[in-house]
Amino acid sequence: MTAIPEQRILLIIGGGIAAYKTLDLIRRLRERGFFVRAVMTESAQRFVTKLAVESLTGSRVFDDLFALTEDSSMGHIELSRDADLLVVAPATADIIAKMAHGLANDLASTMLLATDKKILVAPAMNLRMWLHPATQRNAAILQNDGVVFAGPENGGMACGEYGPGRMSEPLAILAAIEQVLASGTRIPLPADFSGNQEAADVLAGRRVLVTSGPTREPIDPVRYIANRSSGKQGHAIAAAAAAASADVVLVSGPVALADPLGIRTIHVETARDMVRQVEAALPVDIFVGVAAVADWRVAETAPEKIKKDPKQEACLTLVENPDILAALGRRSKDRPALVVGFAAESEELVENAQAKLTAKNCDMIVANDVSRASGVLGGENNKVLILTKNGKESWPWMTKQEVARRLVARLAAMLAETGR
């Protein structure tokens, strides 16, 4: 996609080793026609020079909160006002913590606070720093605030370890930037909760049960069958329902996300664990099955690690897992007033989703394209097709948080119509 000329990115560079990749990001943004203005933290300047960033952006780098006299027309408020999107890359654990808690003690953090523009962060840090509960809590706060995350990815670290925390590649960050810009540039202020006051009027005190993430089906004590679901969409829906005053239970498979604040989160591994916890949470008013539940499990989990045997072909016998969505849709006792399923399809999206709506007796199917090319699985954005008994509707690309907010508003309206 080519950028609409004059789209302006305010790029905040934090003090991480991945700052060298940000130089390439600047180059790629400029190639697409974006205007890039950069702000560097003091630490960032220990990793890459202002000169390199100025050469690549073609404009001066800002780094001093108190330098108004140098260029009074570009104070911190003007800098963020002038931008269409704020991008933080690399987003250090320190910047993420400051953003989550509203600190503003340097130019970068002050601008991140003094803006109503969307913010995209590309975290980069050692995996222990990323997985630390403090960072996970901070990241969850930012996600709830509507900050979009590009990455981090799993991978080798500069420190020699392997795991989550590696900054996404410049092209992936660029794709995320283009998607965010395509869905508008402003974060709605809390007072203007995208019309969700009406949702809150309906959902206050109503019980909403959401499943999220993948399941893991063990093969032996060390191996399992799983899928690429990140849980981002399911967790966002749980958070949006809670923000609309619902009493939410989230049943989550193994994900690298923090439990959403204020939501009872139950952690499970297998599809059968998930079924048990879903049934234990009934009755509920709305069930939203977002989890990518494994269709199959291994017929018999080996009690010990399976050894290689050159004389014999390795063979797994799979049996079908229980279908949680169909079981809830077809329940006679305690059927939720609304049963909503997600259909992750990589081909024939509409046909497959339509078949699922009928076969599983659902009130709504949210279909999304999970082919590798779509970038939906594990990504920050989603493009969904909503199918109900009354017809279908295609929503544009938007962040998973926006899909969640809109979906919750829609479900509240549908629940009000049922009169239950």
Ligand X SMILES: Cc1cc2nc3c(=O)[nH]c(=O)nc-3n(C[C@H](O)[C@H](O)[C@H](O)COP(=O)(O)O)c2cc1C
3-state secondary structure (DSSP) of residue 120: strand
If the CB atoms of residues 41 and 110 are measured against ligand X, the closer one turns out to be 41
If the CB atoms of residues 127 and 367 are measured against ligand X, the closer one turns out to be 127
Question: Please, what's the b/e burial string for 314-336 (b: 16 or more CB within 10 A of its CB; e: otherwise)?
Answer: eeeeeeebebbbbebbebeeebb
Q: List the one residue out of 220, 342, 237, 238 whose CA is nearest residue 290.
A: 342
Residue 366 to residue 355: CA distance in whole angstroms: 12
If the CB atoms of residues 125 and 242 are measured against ligand X, the closer one turns out to be 125
If the CB atoms of residues 167 and 370 are measured against ligand X, the closer one turns out to be 167
If the CB atoms of residues 104 and 129 are measured against ligand X, the closer one turns out to be 129
Packing angle between helix 19-31 and helix 50-57, nearest 10 degrees? 10
CB of 132 to ligand X, least distance (A): 11
CB of 388 to ligand X, least distance (A): 44
Q: What angle do CA 150, 372, 162 make, to 5 degrees?
A: 55
CB of 96 to ligand X, least distance (A): 8
- Burial degree of 119 (CB within 10 A; 0-12, 13-18, 19+): buried
The token duo for 274 is: 């998930």
Give the number of residues written for the chain.
420
If the CB atoms of residues 97 and 176 are measured against ligand X, the closer one turns out to be 97
Sites of contact with ligand X (CB under 6 A): 14-18, 41, 43-44, 92-95, 124-125, 129
If the CB atoms of residues 113 and 350 are measured against ligand X, the closer one turns out to be 113
Residue 159: active-site member? yes
Residue 303 has what DSSP assignment? Answer: S
Q: List the one residue out of 107, 184, 116, 120 whose CA is nearest residue 147.
A: 120
Q: List the one residue out of 24, 2, 26 whose CA is nearest residue 12.
A: 26
CB of 52 to ligand X, least distance (A): 16
Residue 173 to residue 23: CA distance in whole angstroms: 13
CB of 339 to ligand X, least distance (A): 42
Residue 376 to residue 349: CA distance in whole angstroms: 14
Active-site residue identified among 1, 134, 159, 306: 159
Helix (H) or strand (E) holding 365: strand 364-369
Contact 28, 3 (CB under 8 A): no
Packing angle between helix 400-418 and helix 196-203, nearest 10 degrees? 50
CB of 35 to ligand X, least distance (A): 23
CB of 260 to ligand X, least distance (A): 23
Residues near 325 by Cβ (< 8 Å), separated by ≥ 6? 289, 339, 341, 356, 360, 362
First to last CA, the chain: 46
Contact 261, 208 (CB under 8 A): no
CB of 231 to ligand X, least distance (A): 23
- What residues are annotated to the active site? 159
